[in-house]
A and B are shown apart, each in its own frame.
Chain A
């Protein structure tokens, strides 16, 4: 069997902005945080390992789905938004007003243009994730081999807790990924490739973790500049943890996730990349770390994937395990005064994201002012920084000394 892996010795992080082109990408390029250039050290990993798909045919199909997704959420969404605008006006509804959407849903869904936009998006998502899951599953033993080999090589860098009680909110099939993050042993592989497709559609590319490196480089430093321990809460496929380690090479960097398959993939890929991070299957609501343990705690799109009670608990836990003067930097959707104005149109697309992308907790997250929640937990919050990347909110929270 041909081993579809390419080990590339050089791929400069200096090209991190090379993928920023096009309308949304141009926005991203102009929204880079001013903090991004103030880090301790920004160096690429020692190795670049491309996680290729198991065969060229699957790669070709996924290449199509990435392109189709990009067309759907850019070109087609623009034309269908214009159509939605017309539909609402025909009903005597101001599309720029915050109105009750529920009575209008049948009319919107019945419109052929709107139906086609929703149908084609859903079909593409279903074919994409279904194709990934089926094809990766056919070579499951190879992927198990990889994860087990990495665990044998660096058992000190991974902690799995198979008896951990799994909260219900973590069991949903977010984004229509079958089994979600917890129910498919190859969920990390599926999510890694899905993430690359999504990032390509939205921003250009993330195959070499470029966009996540940008996030890690935007993490504000504590005032004293000391970063001995950094934590990525809800690490998913581990990319923010890798970025934190690259930025803070002398720090102990840990990524935690509630899903065992995600932790295993994160660890496997870190071993491939020769990045010395530790990954642990822990619940961010109750991590088990000592008080005042970390200098920096960051997260990437964790909070809109968990319920409101869990978000409150995670914020409180971050406060407990962060040392005085430490920085909490959760990257997620914009809420509160940072959020875009709520209109009938934004409500529809948010509803659509919930309905056909199974973003179960998005509404719960966006309906509250996240910065205010962080502030109430005891942090000193600064919302004035530019977002780490385009499309996110900006919260720098410091635990008072």
Chain B
């Protein structure tokens, strides 16, 4: 846990990991990754839409014309920062596509073990 104070008491203990996110449901792990990306894309798009709705409401409450949005030109600093955020966005949405080699088993190891239990 990324706390900056190593003296803090966490009151935790070890846990038992369940790596089901590596499960495969389609003929090739790439298809599973594609679906995950598709879901992630929806999450990002809706989050952005929702934020825009919030912004527009805030702006209207402040008496700001929404026409200013279309006329706005980002500063150099903004351009640099936004590109960084864009790249983070791409990794969140498409990161699953580069992790297909981690998927090794049908359903994943946890689910396969269930078959032995009936």
Contacts and interface: CB of A to CB of B under 8 A. Distances in A.
Given A172-B15, A261-B12, A184 B114 contact: no
Interface in B1-23: 1-5, 8-18, 20-21, 23
Contact of B42 (A56, A68, A179, A263): A68
A140 B1 contact: yes
Given A60-B51, A63-B50, A65-B43, A183 B23 contact: no
B110 A355 contact: yes
A109 B47 contact: no
A180 B42 contact: no
Given A109-B106, A118-B25, A127-B43, A183 B12 contact: yes
Interface residues of A, number: 60
Contacts of A61: 43-44, 46-47
Given A63-B50, A140-B1, A127 B18 contact: no
Contacts of A68: 39, 42-43
B107 interface: yes
A209 to B, nearest CB: 24
Given A141-B3, A162-B9, A123 B36 contact: yes
B25 A109 contact: yes
A115 B43 contact: no
Given A162-B11, A182-B15, A176 B35 contact: no
A172 B1 CA distance: 18
B93 to A, nearest CB: 10
A363 B26 CA distance: 26
Given A61-B47, A119-B26, A184 B1 contact: yes
Interface of A: 56-61, 63-65, 67-68, 100, 102, 105, 109, 112, 115-116, 118-120, 122-124, 126-127, 131, 137-138, 140-141, 144, 148, 160, 162, 166, 168, 171-173, 176, 178-180, 182-187, 260-261, 263-264, 281, 351, 354-356, 358
Given A116-B25, A141-B4, A356-B20, 5 more contacts: A57-B47, A64-B46, A144-B8, A173-B16, A185-B10
4 tightest A-B contacts by CB? A260-B11, A60-B47, A183-B15, A185-B10
Interface of B: 1-5, 8-18, 20-21, 23, 25-26, 32, 35-36, 39-40, 42-44, 46-51, 54, 96, 106-107, 110-111, 114-115, 118
22 contacts: A56-B50, A58-B47, A61-B46, A63-B50, A64-B47, A68-B42, A109-B25, A109-B106, A122-B20, A122-B23, A124-B39, A127-B40, A137-B2, A141-B5, A172-B16, A183-B12, A183-B14, A184-B15, A185-B3, A186-B1, A355-B20, A355-B110
